[in-house]
Amino acid sequence: MDTRELLKKVKQIEIKARRNSDHMLSGEYQSSFKGRGMTFSEVRLYQYGDDVRAIDWNVTAKLNETYVKVFEEERELTLMLVVDVSGSTHFGTEGVFKRELAAEICASLAFSALANNDKVGVLLFADGPEHYIPPRKGKKHLLRIIREILEFQPNTNTTNISDTLSFLLNIQKKKAIVFMISDFMADDYLNVLKVALRKHEMIGVRLFDPSEMELPNLGMLQVYDPEKKDFTWINTSRSKVRKSFKVNQIKYAHYFSEGFTRYGGGAIEIDIRKPYLKKLMQYFKYQS
């Protein structure tokens, strides 16, 4: 899209996101995440009833008395938006592409974070990390994030979630609230996801269009793969072909939900043809 069209789109998303944040999301965001982060404050002598897991063994050994670590709630959190910009996000059957919806969702979350004085950063990925904007505050910063999500052109079109999560672990040392937004048409990322879930509060948001779940029976059909950027012919009249396609899509969805929920993360699945705000609200209320 040209510059004028891009600015118009950013403004539309800003207005909608601010409305979502002001009227509904901010309170839910605050109650779900505020104060979850804990930062080290000091050590003090062990008292009866203290959690033994809080014992600082190094200090205890040096001073010959038992000391425990004291933590306090962090008042300022960091929201990291990890957003898929691979070829498959340029898909949508009813006027909205996954990538545009991802920008809207990110904007709604970002304005909620801004209202709570939290920093927001973004990591765009395709076949690995493509573009990183460090966490900062301010409306201009958030509008830049929206523009980048809408307009950024990746060097590749395939999807690599594992390498992206590894990069996130390297650059985001402090505990963060991480929303990873993608269609999650990838696998083999479970091992690094488990590590990320131990360090950060991770919520996966899977965007999908129901028409992607199964092939229609239309005989020989030429289809375009936006990630490989090529056309291929498939015989959709063969039930074996249709079944194989559906099984593969179900596998991706199951891998996503199983991976994020089994190890303490959050999983939100959003049909891009339906309003997304209700899904976010349901998740926040459940977490509160």
d(CA 17, CA 276): 12
Residue 212 is predicted with a pLDDT of 82
Kindly indicate the confidence band of residue 215, based on its pLDDT and cuts at 50, 70 and 90.
Answer: confident
Residue 249 is predicted with a pLDDT of 86
Share of the chain above pLDDT 70, in %: 90
Closest CA to 189 of 92, 277, 84, 109: 84
Indicate whether 112 pLDDT > 80.
yes
CATH superfamily of 3-34+75-287: von Willebrand factor, type A domain (3.40.50.410)
Residue 73 is predicted with a pLDDT of 57
Kindly indicate the confidence band of residue 251, based on its pLDDT and cuts at 50, 70 and 90.
Answer: very high
d(CA 123, CA 180): 9
Give the start-to-end residue ranges of the domains of the chain. Answer: 3-34+75-287, 38-73
Strand ranges inside 137-265, DSSP E:
177-182, 201-208, 220-225, 230-235
pLDDT in tens, 155-205: 988 899 999 999 999 999 888 999 999 999 988 899 999 999 999 999 999
Residue 35 is predicted with a pLDDT of 53
d(CA 128, CA 280): 26
Indicate whether 248 pLDDT > 60.
yes
Q: To 10 degrees, what angle do helices 190-199 and 239-262 make? A: 30
d(CA 192, CA 284): 25
Q: What is the residue whose two structure tokens read 């129901």? A: 210
Average pLDDT, the chain: 86
Q: Which amino acid is at 169?
A: L
pLDDT in tens, 35-87: 555 666 678 898 887 888 889 999 999 899 999 987 665 567 899 999 999 98
d(CA 69, CA 41): 8
pLDDT in tens, 129-169: 999 999 999 999 999 999 999 999 999 888 999 999 999 99
Kindly indicate the confidence band of residue 266, based on its pLDDT and cuts at 50, 70 and 90.
Answer: very high
